[in-house]
Structure 1
Amino acid sequence: MKKAAILFSLVLFTSVLFAQRKKQEKKKDVVIVTGRMLSQKDSNLVKDLFFDGLHEKLVMNYPQAASSFSKILETDPANDAAMYELGSIKFAGSQLEEAEYLLRNAVTVKPENEWYWVLLADIYKKSNKIDKLVPVLAELTKIAPDNEAYFYDKANALLLLKKVDDAIAAYDEVEKRFGSSEELSSARQRIMMQQGKSVKLEEELRRQIAANPQEIRNYIFLNEVLTKAGQREKAIEVLNKAKQIAPADALIRLALADQYKALRQFDNTFIELKVAFNDPNLSIDEKVRIVLSFFPMFADMKARANANELTSIMVKVHPDEAKAFAVHGDVLFQERKFAEAKEAYIKALKINDQVYQIWEQLLRIELSLNEFQQLVKDGQTALSIFPNQAALYLYTGIGFAQTGQHEKAVSYLKNTLDLETEDKEILMQVYSMLGDSYNALKKYKESDQSYAKALEIDPRNSYVLNNYAYYLSLRGENLEEAASMSKRSIELEPGNSSSEDTYAWILFRLKKYAEARVWIEKALGNGTGSNATQTEHYGDILFFLGEKEKALEQWQKAKSLGSGSNTLDKKINEKKYLE
């Protein structure tokens, strides 16, 4: 269309130049251009500006092109060709009111020009001014009476305006001029549907099916008519007849699936969907939409299993579509099949690594699987593509912290804070991890400040309360405050052996050995019973309760469980507690 418009302009201007030369033979100093007397100087200026405008438009330098055509109209306000070209630029830039103004002027200057009217029609379609569109299309039917599309557009526009009688008359004119067609039958069926003439429409569709039983869309439309009339069983009968003719047709299968779903016949629904999903011609977007509709039902194990099977079909039928693998990964993630979900996401990213959500899901899975080295590697790759995403810095920072690279962890976590200032969940995680990493770096002031900020955001976060309290106890600082935070973490998450161990250790540091024993025994009872640190702590507490033989047994057990510190060895060898 753009090429046609440019070609038309060139032809138009060539004819103007020819007219100019004819006039110049009679009068050298004055020429006529588009109804206005121009001097030779202005005429040459218009010509130069027009060709400059066309050139800039061809190379897609639209602002400069628009400037050239605007300058023409300053010199020659009635230059319809410049109006058209400038209007087309305004239209492409969605400046619809300006485009409309220019084209209304253009058709006034040259009402016989078909392309001017076509662009004006496009403007009205885009701005949804259907009432103004109808007379434009009527004008086009007069200018180009052999163009069937203009007549159809006019009839459709009348139908949109709910001028049903006028629309019927317009469709009758189409048939009179161009004969019957499937498109015309469909248009008339839409009118009957709009008029609520379902019985008449059903009769018409059944007649068409009998005349042409291979035309599948008539079955689909009849199904819609019967459904709207509340006759789902009849609709299923019609669709099953269509299925006999085209058993692999995805549209028939989807229509049947909708009917069975409405009747709560979910097994039949799934049977039809499986066939539809095996059709490579059914768009991947439609398949994705259907799978996503299962997500609200994922509390039902059968719904999850069905969605999994459908996405498994998708990745086989569409092996080159990243969306197929991404949605398959989402379903597996919902099923908590993290390793399989990770594999699906990796395949999706190999096809298209420009989808941010897939990267975030992949990193989240690697974090949940404790694959911290891979988390760092994939996090850095993701950040090379999406350098301004706070969540990517957070996950990568966590990966660095969990692999003992705390300086890098701090750097990435601080980058997260630079990018995210609103999401409280992310901010809480960042400050919590900064507390851990600063503590590992022995930057205790920064660590305490970070934990305090995390608790300002979420005072009920048991993880932060526990860690903050534990690190304070290791340093022997603010032990009463640490005990309060530790006890609070246990109240928020009863039965957590790690929190119980922390509380026991703080009580030990406060020399409350009897209470400490109660809580360390709870920790060992609620845990796996094979935690070396907790076992060593139990020995320490027993030693100060005077049960030195039992203390030695616990220290020896802790060593057998993997604790290999020099301090523990000295405790065993010297049979006494050492800091």
Structure 2
Amino acid sequence: MAPAHSIAQKQKGKNSASKLKDAEYYFTEGEKYFILEDYSKALVLFQKSLDIAPDNATVHYKMAQIYAAGQEMDKALINIKKALESEPSNKYFYVLAGEIYTQIGDFKNAAATYEEMTSSIENTDQYLFELAAIYLYQQDYDKAVEVYDRIEKHYGPNEDVIGQKQKIYLKNNDFDQALLEGQKLIDLYPEEEEFVLNQAEVLLTNNKSKEARALLENFSQENPENSMKSRLVLSELDRKEGDMEGAINNIEIAFKDPSLDIEEKIQILAEYRVTMTPEELKHSGVKLAELLVEAHPEIADSHIIYADILQTVGELAKAKNAYLKSLELDQSNFAVWQNVLQIYSQQNKTDSVLMLSNQALELFPNQGSLYYFNGYANLRKQNYQEAVYALEQGKRLSSSNLSLVSAFNAMLGDAYNGTEQFAKSDKAYEAALDFDPENYAILNNYSYFLALRKDRLEDAEKMAAKTVKNNPNNPTYLDTYAWVLFTNGKYKEAKKIIEQAIDTGEVTAVFHEHYGDILYKLGQIDAAVKQWQKAKEMNPKSELIDKKIADRKLYE
């Protein structure tokens, strides 16, 4: 028979083994629920395992993972610390500890954790990047550089690492070290323009334009097909130094390259458009825009900036064609439609204004300015009803733009007069004059139509007199004033004014016809017929002119 204490020891050993087996069982079951992401059940089972085997590092690690995922950072930290105490050589425990410290903002301990791990455990150098990031966040730049140096020692030169070191040196105003790091990148990648440009920027920022120019010129010579952005920087340096010829030469080379970003080119052209003299813009600006179009013929914006510059230098026909080309590629730019309509208006191409404004209104039915152009064209073509419709629509849509509303009212005065809706015509004119009482074009038209209607002649005369007083050499305004005076029976005064109009040299058939009518009223029949004949020579289709000449008599 064995001694009693030996039996007790055996029984104790059996109990210990049984407990460890239970602990293993609870851990395994907990792991199943962990995988299924049923973390609450997993925690219960892990805790049961720990109650039996409290020093199990893996169980503490798993619990720390669960608590960290649930943002219970205090509990997560307690468990990961216990895991590390039990097993200080497990890199995964360090990584989780570092992540937890980082999340709670304890960067000092986070850095210490990564430092200890990378110093004591092999094959953990990849975590030096996290360590460097933590030092950067803390603005501990010296330690960050030390870590980046360790990374370079382990992995060799690295673009991102060198770039980060350069940024640090620049923040610390260590210009020389920043340049050394930049040169490393150029030496590593001698054909990469990006690194040359970065180095040039550092030099320029520190007033080393001569060195920057030399660097860029050298790179451009050695890499003629891959130096377009360098050419742009060189062009800008030339421009700042007053060497416009050099600037244009460099920028032309860059603009010929279709791979260079078109937005960058357009931005440069936009700046040149503002800073160039009119003569420079007419030659160099237009040339650059032409090169842009040649390099990017299928991009609407290239044609638009070309057209903008052409319009600025007065090349309206070419500008119009360039705008129209852009619309073939992209009809969505409302400003382009407006610009083409403006050019057609300046060229007095009324049919084109009417056609294009109708097309534009199909795409932009809520743009008041399009109705302005459409109403203007219909008015010019004496399509008075269509003009009224377009102008009223545009006025309604432009209610917040009082200046544009006034312009609509001015044309509505003409349009309603054409439809013989005289009350509406007068109301529109009055509204326009309320906004702009010194608008002489409105005063002229209003007074002229009143005279034609023989209505409110005193008001008409006041408006016409005011207009001529402030525009004494305008032949149209002089003719209107003369006609108002004629209608008011003031023939001698009318004769004096119409002769002033004719003396300006800008004469129409209407002027001579009016002059003839005035002379007739003054009893100068032969002189009147002579003026009517001149009117007929200038406009054979003038109403009643043949009858006036044949009968030597005034017909009104």
TM range (shorter): 0.7 to 0.9
Q: How many residues were matched structurally? A: 478
Q: 1:566 to 1:457 in 2, by over 3 A?
A: closer
The letter of the residue matching 2:316 is F
Residue 362 of structure 1 is aligned with which of 340, 359, 363? 340
Q: Which residue of 1 aligns with 2:448?
A: 470
Question: For residue 499 of structure 1, what is the aligned residue in structure 2?
Answer: 477
Instruction: Check conservation: 1:460, 1:492, Cα contact below 8 A.
Output: no
Contact 2:303/2:322 (CA < 8 Å) preserved in 1?
yes
**What is the CA-CA distance between 1:488 and the residue it aligns to?**
2.6
1:310 equivalent in structure 2: 288
Alignment-derived partner of residue 304 in structure 2: 326
Unaligned runs of 5+ in 2: 1-28, 43-64, 81-91, 93-98
Map of 1:221 onto structure 2: 198
Q: Which of 535, 538, 552 is the equivalent residue of 1:561?
A: 538
Question: After superposition, where does 1:10-159 map in structure 2 within 5 Å?
Answer: 33-35=38-40, 105=71
* Cα distance, 1:192–1:390 mapped onto 2, change above 3 Å: same
**Deviation of the 1:336 alpha carbon:** 2.1
Rate the CA distance shift 1:277–1:555 in 2: closer, same or farther, 3 A. Answer: same
Is the alpha carbon distance of 1:170 and 1:369 closer, same or farther for their aligned partners in structure 2, counting shifts above 3 Å? farther
Which amino acid counterpart does residue 348 of structure 2 have in structure 1? N
% identical equivalent positions:
29
Alignment gaps of 5+ in structure 1: 1-18, 24-30, 38-79, 82-102, 115-120, 122-129
Residue 460 of structure 2 is matched in structure 1 by 482
Q: 1:392 to 1:276 in 2, by over 3 A?
A: same
Counterpart AA for 1:311: A
TM-score by length of structure 1 reads 0.73
- Aligned residue for 2:445, secondary structure, equals helix
Cα contact 2:478–2:500 (8 A) shared by 1: yes
CA RMSD of aligned residues (A): 4.0
Give the match for residue 191 of structure 1: 168
The answer as to 2:408 corresponding to 1:430 is yes
Alignment deviations for residues 499-544 of structure 1 (CA, whole Å, 9 cap, x no partner): 1111111111122222222221222222433x10011111112222
Q: CA deviation at 1:428?
A: 1.7
Q: How many Å separate the matches in 1 of 2:37 and 2:241?
A: 74
Q: 2:367 aligns with which of 370, 389, 401?
A: 389
How far is the alpha carbon of 1:357 from its aligned partner?
1.5
Residue 268 of structure 2 is aligned to residue 290 of structure 1: yes
In 2, distance between residues paired with 1:516 and 1:394?
Answer: 35
The answer to whether the Cα contact below 8 Å between 2:468 and 2:477 also exists between their aligned partners in 1 is yes
Work out which of the residue numbers 514, 520, 530 in structure 1 matches 2:492. 514
Could you tell me how far apart the structure 2 residues matched to 1:354 and 1:419 are?
20
**Per-residue deviation at 1:436?**
0.9
**Which structure 2 residues correspond to residues 220-299 of structure 1 after superposition, within 5 A?**
220-248=197-225, 249-297=227-275
Does structure 2 conserve the Cα–Cα contact (< 8 Å) formed by 1:329 and 1:344? yes
State whether residues 371 and 390 of structure 2, in contact with CA within 8 Å, keep that contact through their aligned partners in structure 1.
yes
| Aligned residue identity for 1:279 | D
**What secondary structure does 1:280 align onto?**
coil
Q: Given residue 487 of structure 1, which amino acid in structure 2 is its aligned partner?
A: A
The match for 1:545 is 522
SS in 1 for 2:544: helix
Aligned partners of 1:220 and 1:252 also within 8 Å: yes
| Alignment check: 8 A CA contact 2:163 2:182 kept | no
3-state DSSP of counterpart to 1:294: helix
Structure 1 residue 210 displacement after superposition = 5.9
Q: Verify the 8 A CA contact 2:159 2:185 in the aligned structure 1.
A: no
Rounded to whole Å, the distance in 1 between the matches of 2:190 and 2:470 is: 68
Over residues 148-191 of structure 1, what are the superposed CA-to-partner deviations in whole Å (9 max), with x where a residue is unaligned?
99976885786587553354345345435643212322222222
CA 1:377 to 1:563, structure 2 compared with 1: closer, same or farther past 3 Å? same
Residue 560 of structure 1 aligns with an amino acid whose one-letter code is E
Alpha-carbon distance in 1 for matches of 2:382, 2:254: 51
What letter corresponds to residue 444 of structure 2 in structure 1?
N
Q: 1:36 to 1:538 in 2, by over 3 A?
A: farther
Match 1:171 to one of 148, 152, 162: 148
SS class of match (2:444):
helix
Check whether the contact 1:322–1:348 (CA below 8 A) recurs between aligned residues.
yes
Please give the per-residue CA displacement for 1:85-129, whole angstroms capped at 9, x wherever unaligned: xxxxxxxxxxxxxxxxxx9859999999x9xxxxxx9xxxxxxxx
Q: TM-score, with normalisation over the residues of structure 2?
A: 0.76
